[in-house]
């Protein structure tokens, strides 16, 4: 009889239809009904779907879809407004439950986290995770088991809902080999399209591509990094250090299309000043401004520029954001504008970098 070896595993915990599930907990009469959460809960207004219950997803309603499109697909759905405070409270309860298991917990957002676990039976531990979360919150989760974060993250989707799935080096190509490259965590549709233009359409093909070929197309750092995705390689550790934002952003969706570009510029200035207030709260100055525009009907573009120096100056920040409006297509109508400000690193990180520089001289 062989004894299982105790070793390090990565588990990815993903709450099932999290926002919708929180709403159903508060309104049990919604169980089993198609629920769509987004905006102010009025599907006749402009806004996007934050999440949809599985019952709504069966009719093609999904996150990021305009609420008006969701209404056309599913006029009988229950539409609810976003309640960020309720989701934050539920998320906090989930994450505290995970920390109570005595493992390293890396929070990824409201509804997901990586766990660094040392065990001889990861499947049994995954069941323990699910049961602990459900007992504490009455919310279900799915758990992906991997020998690194990439594989654990991808594994979760194979187990949904309320399931457990294991993806490791041993079964990587059996499971993923013939799938498209956009099935890989970190590879988006644009990158997948570019890879397809190179004749690379599957995970196996990507894994077999020489790093030099990828570097020539995507750059010396990004190209080889894309190659590691195809091979299922990820050396990043599970860390309990809190995630630190590099930027803050605000955006607004106009209920009526704007074709007055003076009005657009005014809105951009207002957004920039709101984001500046977010930076003041963290005491981290702005170093770069990015402008996001969504033209009618639903085409999105961004443009960006570095600031001459790091600053909190409201006139500099608002002026830089407004200047980017000149780069946009003024012949088109606008339905959404957004402003993002990249910040200086946190003080502790800056001091650490300075100490490292000094020790190396």
Q: What is the DSSP string of 121-157?
A: -HHHHHHHHHHHHHHHHS--EEEEEESSHHHHHHHHH
Average pLDDT over residues 202-207: 98
pLDDT in tens, 281-333: 999 999 999 999 999 988 999 999 999 999 999 999 999 999 999 999 999 99
Question: Do 277 and 294 fall into the same domain?
Answer: yes
Question: Do 148 and 70 fall into the same domain?
Answer: yes
Which CATH number do you get for residue 85? 3.30.70.270
Residue-level pLDDT at 157: 95
**Residue 120 is encoded by which pair of tokens?**
């001889």
Give the domain extent around 206. 172-231
Q: Is position 121 within any domain?
A: yes
Active site residue 112: yes
Of 118, 147, 166, the position where a domain reaches its end is: 166
Distance CA 191, CA 197 (A): 10
Q: How confident is the model at residue 99 (pLDDT cuts 50, 70, 90)?
A: very high
Of 203, 231, 259, the position where a domain reaches its end is: 231
> Whose CA is closest to 224, among 238, 242, 240, 206?
206
- Is residue 245 within 8 Å of 343, Cβ to Cβ? yes
Catalytic site residue from 23, 55, 106, 112: 112
Q: Is position 356 within any domain?
A: no
Chain center to CA of 279: 21
Q: Is position 353 within any domain?
A: no
Residue-level pLDDT at 347: 67
Q: Is position 239 within any domain?
A: no
DSSP H/E element including 189 = helix 189-197
Q: How confident is the model at residue 353 (pLDDT cuts 50, 70, 90)?
A: very low
Average pLDDT over residues 16-33: 96
Distance CA 111, CA 19 (A): 8
Residue-level pLDDT at 245: 83
Q: Is position 358 within any domain?
A: no
Average pLDDT over residues 168-193: 96
pTM of the model: 0.80
Measured CA angle at 249 (ends 245, 253), to 5 deg: 150
> Alpha-carbon Rg of the chain, whole angstroms?
23
Average pLDDT, the chain: 93
Distances (CA, A) of 344 to 39, 156, 248, 272, 282: 31, 34, 11, 16, 10
Give the CA count within 13 Å in the CB-facing half-sphere of 159: 29
Question: Do 200 and 272 fall into the same domain?
Answer: no
Distance CA 87, CA 117 (A): 26
Question: Do 227 and 152 fall into the same domain?
Answer: no
Question: Do 22 and 155 fall into the same domain?
Answer: yes
- Indicate if the pLDDT at residue 135 is higher than 80: yes
Question: Do 256 and 272 fall into the same domain?
Answer: yes
Distance CA 120, CA 131 (A): 19
For 188, which DSSP code?
A: -
- Indicate if the pLDDT at residue 354 is higher than 90: no
Residue-level pLDDT at 243: 75
Q: What's the structural domain count of the chain?
A: 3
- Indicate if the pLDDT at residue 351 is higher than 60: no
Question: Do 1 and 150 fall into the same domain?
Answer: yes
- Indicate if the pLDDT at residue 359 is higher than 50: no
Distance CA 102, CA 347 (A): 30
Question: Do 206 and 341 fall into the same domain?
Answer: no
Question: Do 216 and 260 fall into the same domain?
Answer: no
Question: Do 113 and 154 fall into the same domain?
Answer: yes
Of 125, 144, 166, the position where a domain reaches its end is: 166
**Residue 171 is encoded by which pair of tokens?**
């079964």
């Amino acid at each position: 009889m062989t004894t299982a070896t105790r070793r390090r595993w990565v588990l990815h915990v993903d709450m099932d239809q999290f926002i919708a599930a929180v709403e159903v907990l508060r309104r049990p009469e919604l169980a089993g009904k198609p629920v769509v959460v987004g905006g102010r809960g009025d599907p006749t207004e402009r806004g996007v779907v934050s999440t949809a219950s599985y019952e709504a997803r069966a009719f093609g309603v999904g996150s990021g879809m305009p609420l008006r499109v969701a209404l056309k697909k599913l006029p009988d759905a229950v539409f609810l407004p976003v309640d960020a405070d309720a989701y934050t409270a539920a998320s906090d309860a989930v994450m505290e439950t995970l920390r109570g298991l005595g493992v390293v917990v890396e929070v990824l957002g409201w509804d997901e986290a990586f766990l660094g676990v040392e065990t001889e039976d990861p499947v049994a531990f995954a069941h323990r995770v699910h049961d602990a979360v459900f007992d504490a919150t009455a919310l279900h989760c799915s758990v992906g088991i991997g020998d690194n974060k990439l594989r654990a993250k991808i594994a979760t989707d194979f187990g949904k809902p309320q399931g457990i799935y294991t993806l490791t080096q041993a079964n990587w190509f059996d499971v993923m080999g013939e799938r498209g490259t956009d099935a890989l965590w970190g590879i988006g549709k644009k990158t997948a399209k570019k890879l397809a233009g190179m004749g690379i359409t599957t995970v196996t093909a990507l894994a077999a591509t020489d790093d030099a070929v990828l570097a020539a197309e995507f750059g010396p750092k990004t190209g080889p990094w894309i190659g590691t995705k195809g091979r299922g390689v990820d050396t990043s550790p599970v860390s309990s250090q809190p995630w630190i934002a590099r930027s803050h952003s605000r955006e607004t969706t106009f209920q009526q299309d704007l074709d007055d570009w003076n009005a657009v510029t005014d809105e951009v200035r207002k957004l920039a000043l709101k984001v500046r207030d977010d930076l003041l709260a963290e005491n981290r100055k702005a170093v770069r401004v990015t402008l996001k525009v969504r033209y009618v009907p639903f085409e999105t573009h961004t443009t960006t520029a570095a600031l001459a120096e790091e600053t909190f100056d409201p006139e500099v920040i608002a002026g830089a954001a407004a200047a980017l409006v000149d780069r946009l297509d003024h012949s088109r109508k606008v339905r959404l504008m957004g402003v993002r400000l990249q910040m200086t690193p946190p003080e502790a990180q800056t001091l650490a970098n300075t100490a490292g520089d000094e020790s190396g001289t």
